[in-house]
Structure 1
Amino acid sequence: MLIDLIVRDAEIHTMDSERPTASAMGVWRGRIIGFDSELDGIDARETISLPGKVIVPGFIDAHCHTTWWGLGLAAVDLGEVRSLDELYALIRAEAERLDDDTAWIHATGYNHKHTGGELPSIDRLDEAAQGHPVYIRHCSGHRSIVNRAALELAGVLDASFPDPEGGEIVRDAAGEPTGVVDETAQEVIQGLLLPYSAETIADALDRATTRYAAVGITSFTEAGVGGGWIGHSPMELQAYRLAARSGRLHARAQLMPVLDALHEVSANADDFAGEGSALGLDLGLESGVGDEVVSLGHVKVFTDGSLIGATAAVTEDFCGHPHGRGYLLDTPEQYRERVLGAYRAGWNIAMHAIGDRAVDVAMDIIAEAQERYGRREVPNRIEHAGVTRPEQVTRLAELGIAVTPQASFTGPLGTQFMDRMGPERTPYLYRAKSFVKAGVLVAGSSDLPVADNDVLRAIRSLVDRLTDEDTVFGSANERVSPHEAVKMYTVNAAVACGVDADRGSLQTGKLADFVVLSASPFDTATLYDATVEATYLGGVSTYLSSAQQ
């Protein structure tokens, strides 16, 4: 028998408890056909010998924003800005570069942490932009910063313009806009830019997923498509399929439609749990539709904002911030009606809830959905679960809800989060070990581009929980073992995304998605030296480091 690929002489960690390790693995037609002695007498078109190297299942990022990041890779990068003067200089240089006087200046990656907590001045932005409208996406995604030219195009300069529900066009004491646009109010600016074309999105996916392969990511969940302030086109599914057909998608994609993209649908009286109507997409589309390259996942529901912007809904005041306890983006009653309608139509639920007040609302709604319509094999989720009280951890486990906290936040954002919460509530931040001990399924994710998606760096953060300032984030009691951390980005993420039949572990019959590492991530003595040397998707390399070329 002649198969496609045999990998030999490696230290293969399968993440399968029945066969945890192997030294050889065979691949045929994109799937694993066996290990070690099962390959005796079998030849392959390609054989790779990897002595001293470690193989693990392909990493899964269960919550990220790929199109947003890919578009940002072609924008002005403010991620390394360390002063407002530097920011204005970059905006001015972009204005001078643009030929079209009406063209927008797009910038991304800005974090006010690096400019002493101070935000750009709208007057200085106007001066630097030289008449161009400016659109800066804050790294949190829950805030944008614009200039007067952008606000004028949107028709919101006048103080009488009402804030959208769940958002704010921030104004000073005189009623003049500061240029800061929070939460759902961002839609008034994005409405001038959307929708992006399928070709533009496919190009963004090409840029983004090429970089995904370099950090070992073989599958990801796009956390919000099709509408709201997070989507880029009502045709986003088509854009992903275009990217896949044209060779511009270098990882497997699962898309979460936002709740705003769903609409009232009706069917036979026996359908939709006998209620005859629900919230969904036409033709009965539901979670799980698609193939192994592009599929539909949970429906994404925003309930609150962010910790950086102090707009997350919490039960006690933020430290030193005028937003007090943040806010919900809609009323619990409105969420309940719409989420139950989506669940009834076959959509699994993923509720963005960062603050503990939002987590309470999300748990209540998911609990009712499961009680009325039953639990499903694929767990409902709470995205982020950034602040959780001890009793909430217990209830999450009882309800079988999966969570996606971001270990990637630890280094760059941990200190900001702790300053927001204060010392008494700091231990509640982005838990890990508490979830594991309680039996809560924890899926690894990055929330890219809010933080980077370097999975090995995130695994290290789960193990040591050290911020960039070298302080412990939250509590040292939330540290997990290297094996538990790797499991979050493989087995757990696959289960949380409902793709564990094909992914998350290396087993016969599963997709041959794997990562070649220079050293073991399971030992703290070698974890900090491990690098990605190669990534394989269905047995085909999507990334080779110089060491493997």
Structure 2
Amino acid sequence: MKLLYFVTFAILLIGLSSCTTNKEVDLIVYNAKVYTVDSAFSQTEAFAVKNGIFIDIGTTAEIKKKYIAKETIDAQGKAVYPGFYDAHAHFFMLADLLEQVDLSGSKSIADIILRLQVYHASHPEKKWIVGGGWDQNLWSEKEFPTKDSLDKYFPETPIYLSRVDYHAAWVNSKAMKTARLDSTHTETVEGGLIFVDSLNHPTGILVDNAMNIVAKHIPESEEHELLAALRKAQDSLLSVGLTSIVDAGLAIEQLDLLKKFYQHDSLKIRDYAMIAADPHQIDKQIREGFHEGDRLTIRSFKIMADGALGSRGACLLDHYHDSPTKGFLLHSPQEFEQMIKKLANTNFQVNTHAIGDSANRIMLDTYGKYLKDPKKRRWRIEHAQIIDSADFSKFAQFHIIPSVQPTHATSDMYWAEERLGNNRIKHAYAYKQLLQQYGMLALGSDFPVEHFNPLYGFHAAVARVDKSGFPQGGFQMENAISREEALRGMTIWAAYSCFQEKKRGSIEKGKDADFVILEDDIMIAPEQKLRNIKTLRTVIAGETVFLRL
């Protein structure tokens, strides 16, 4: 009897334990339409998260049967995607702009003056008025402005206003006086340009490397002010589903601040920060070495090859269609070659800003000359905006990743042909052609040059129209990409371009639990609705960092 009793009791214990073997996890998301963006682009319904990692993925029934969670999210059939990854952005610049005068979309000089006056009245403590976002191409006259327009209203307050592309600045006389910039200092600036009038007096427009003549005199923010501004910028990014960004070119001082902020858990968004390459400091910068953290990674350099198309600083093979200039390089070809040669002998990644077809050719050829085992190095061309027809194949030949920003096409399309002519424009913003060469595109926004919402880029990539649906039928639709390609470009391909495809970029077991829930499905929603789809929840490492209430 005693033996029978113990056997019966043991069987009962086994039965009870089998009913309570559900593994405890931190989070379960279920009843969802999950786009995993894995290699098969598969869809599922649910997943489980523990310690900030996806540990299982499957149907709602499977996940709920296997796990119990501290927190559950019923997605109510909404679409869930890997956290969006902006492959080219400017975190510090966005933080600065949020504290400055936003001139985006200004339609005239009068509009700008009004914005400056409103800002000055509400910020009387500011010693300088600093702003950004103006674009003369949106004005009826489409000519660069002069200092006189600013001097009339602000004779005693220095003003520094960055053009929308951040490759030109408009300043007033007070700012030039502070910088001691006058007609005796208008000699050629390597990689830059000072606009002058018929008497050789500076007009107030500075292009590329000339901008720093005045910019270096702008008072710097205190550390606590900068952190507050970065947090404010971060809130904006999280609200649109961004969980990772590429910080495209920072000074060592900015990188040191980021290390400090992340070390103290002051920022949550994941940041792949590039070192702004200085040909005179390259050896010292290389000695700084890698920084590999959970949220902050520093293992790449950004080289600036040329300027921007809008300010005619992009370096072209032939003259601009609307001006007797070919633009210019920001450094000499010899300096580029010296930097590339040194970096090719390190493990650093190199990413080069190249807009014009000449700049792209020079950098692609220099990459090819020195880069050994290029497929593993994953070097990138940032923007790859205008490519000569003979040079597209070099992206495949040298295994160079095209890192592009689709909203540049729909912002520039109104005037780009004026700059390039009807032949070169056919080889500009050629995202499909670049995709066919490399097999991937890393998609970004270049914020704050463009808006930081990744769905604006998604819409521009697939529809090739602006927010109003112009032009009918799309701009150069032969270079539109599919929705699947666009989603990959802002998730797994962006992660790949930063050596992070094994850690993030898709919803798969063992990867960081970064994901976003949207109110509508961007894979099937009508094109005209894509830009207006709201983010409902943004999650980084299993933690909700944004929730729309």
User: Structure 2 length as normaliser, TM-score?
Assistant: 0.90
Structure 1: give runs of 5+ residues left out of the alignment.
Answer: 227-233, 266-278
Residues 252-291 of structure 1 aligned to structure 2 (within 5 Å): 252-260=270-278, 263=281, 265=283, 280-283=285-288, 285-286=289-290, 289-291=291-293
Q: Deviations over 1:243-281 (max 9, x none)?
A: 33555424101111111187364xxxxxxxxxxxxx634
Output aligned runs, 1:230-309, within 5 Å: 234-245=252-263, 248-260=266-278, 263=281, 265=283, 280-283=285-288, 285-286=289-290, 289-309=291-311
Q: State the Cα RMSD in Å.
A: 2.1
How far does the alpha carbon of each residue in 1:25-61 deviate from its partner, in whole angstroms, 9 at most, with x for none? 1111111010123563311000110122001111111
Task: Say yes or no: does 1:108 pair with 2:110.
Answer: no
Residue 344 and residue 376 in structure 1: after superposition, are their counterparts in 2 closer, same or farther (change >3 A)? Answer: farther
Offset of residue 375 of structure 1: 2.8
Which residue pairs with 1:514 in the alignment? 515
The alpha carbon displacement at 1:215 in A equals 1.2
Q: Number of aligned residue pairs: give it.
A: 519
Identity of aligned residues (%): 24
The one-letter amino acid of 2:420's match is M
Query: Matches of residues 494-513 of structure 1 in structure 2 within 5 Å?
Result: 494-513=495-514
**Pairwise mapping of residues 31-430 of structure 1 onto structure 2 (< 5 A)?**
31-36=53-58, 37=62, 40-100=65-125, 103-116=127-140, 117-193=142-218, 196-226=221-251, 234-245=252-263, 248-260=266-278, 263=281, 265=283, 280-283=285-288, 285-286=289-290, 289-322=291-324, 324-371=325-372, 374-375=373-374, 377-430=376-429
SS at match of 1:301: strand
Conserved 8 A contact 2:186-2:200:
no
Q: What secondary structure sits across from 1:351 in the alignment? A: strand
Residues 179 and 58 from structure 1, CA distance in 2 versus in 1: closer, same or farther, beyond 3 angstroms? same
Alignment check: 8 A CA contact 1:164 1:185 kept? yes
8 Å Cα contact 2:374/2:398 also seen in 1: no
Kept after mapping to 1: 8 A contact 2:274/2:299: yes
Give structure 1 regions of 4+ aligned residues with deviation exceeding 4 angstroms: 194-197, 245-248
Deviation digits for residues 52-93 of structure 1, max 9, x if unmatched? 200111111111111111111111111142221121122233
Once structures 1 and 2 are overlaid, which stretch shifts more, 2-11 or 198-207? 198-207
Counterpart contact for 2:128–2:218, Cα < 8 Å: no
Contact 1:219 1:252 (C-alpha < 8 Å) held by counterparts: yes
Q: 1:544 to 1:521 in 2, by over 3 A?
A: same
The verdict on how the C-alpha distance between 1:489 and 1:105 changes in structure 2, with shifts beyond 3 A counting, is same
More displaced 10-residue stretch of structure 1: 524-533 or 133-142: 524-533
Please say which structure displays the higher CA radius of gyration.
Answer: 2
Q: Please give the alpha-carbon distance, in whole angstroms, between the structure 2 residues aligned to 1:326 and 1:56.
A: 41
1:514 shift after superposition: 0.6
8 Å contact from structure 1 (residues 506, 512) kept in 2: yes
Unaligned segments of structure 2, at least 5 residues: 1-22
- 1:148–1:157 CA contact under 8 A, matched in 2: no
Match of 2:546 in 1: 543
Distance 1:219 1:142 in 2: 25
Q: Is the 8 A contact 1:95 1:129 kept in 2?
A: no
In structure 2, the CA distance between the partners of 1:193 and 1:342, relative to structure 1 (3 Å rule), is: farther
Cα distance in 2 for partners of 1:445, 1:197 equals 29
Single out whichever of 87-96 and 440-449 deviates more from structure 2.
87-96
- The residue type equivalent to 2:429 in the other structure is Y
Residues in 1 aligned to 2:84 and 2:68: alpha-carbon distance in whole angstroms: 28
Deviates most, 346-355 or 32-41? 32-41
Which range moves more in the overlay, 462-471 or 443-452?
A: 462-471
Relative to structure 1, the CA distance from residue 459 to residue 380 in structure 2 (aligned partners, 3 Å threshold; closer, same or farther) is same
- Deviation (angstroms), 1:3: 1.1
* Cα distance between partner residues in 2 of 1:198 and 1:140: 26
* Secondary structure of residue in 1 paired with 2:416: helix
Task: Summarize the Cα distance change of 1:174–1:526 in structure 2 as closer, same or farther, 3 Å threshold.
Answer: closer
Q: What is the aligned partner in structure 2 of residue 25 from structure 1?
A: 47
Tell me, in whole angstroms, the C-alpha distance in 2 between the residues paired with 1:235 and 1:394. 38
How do residues 442-481 of structure 1 correspond to structure 2 at under 5 angstroms?
Answer: 442-467=441-466, 470-471=470-471, 475-481=476-482
CA distance in 1, matches of 2:193, 2:356: 19
Secondary structure, in 3 states, of the residue corresponding to 2:358?
Answer: helix
- Pair 56,468 (structure 1): closer, same or farther in 2 beyond 3 Å: closer
Q: Aligned to 1:534, what secondary structure does the other structure show?
A: strand
Indicate how the Cα distance of structure 1 residues 121 and 332 shifts in structure 2: closer, same or farther if over 3 A, else same: closer
Shift of 1:479: 1.2
Kept in 2: contact 1:133–1:150 (CA 8 A): yes
Query: How far apart, in 2, do the equivalents of 1:9 and 1:378 lie?
Result: 40
Whole-Å Cα distance in 1 between the matches of residues 279 and 34 of structure 2?
42
State the shift of 1:441 in Å: 2.6
Identify which range, 29-38 or 520-529, moves more after superposition.
Answer: 520-529
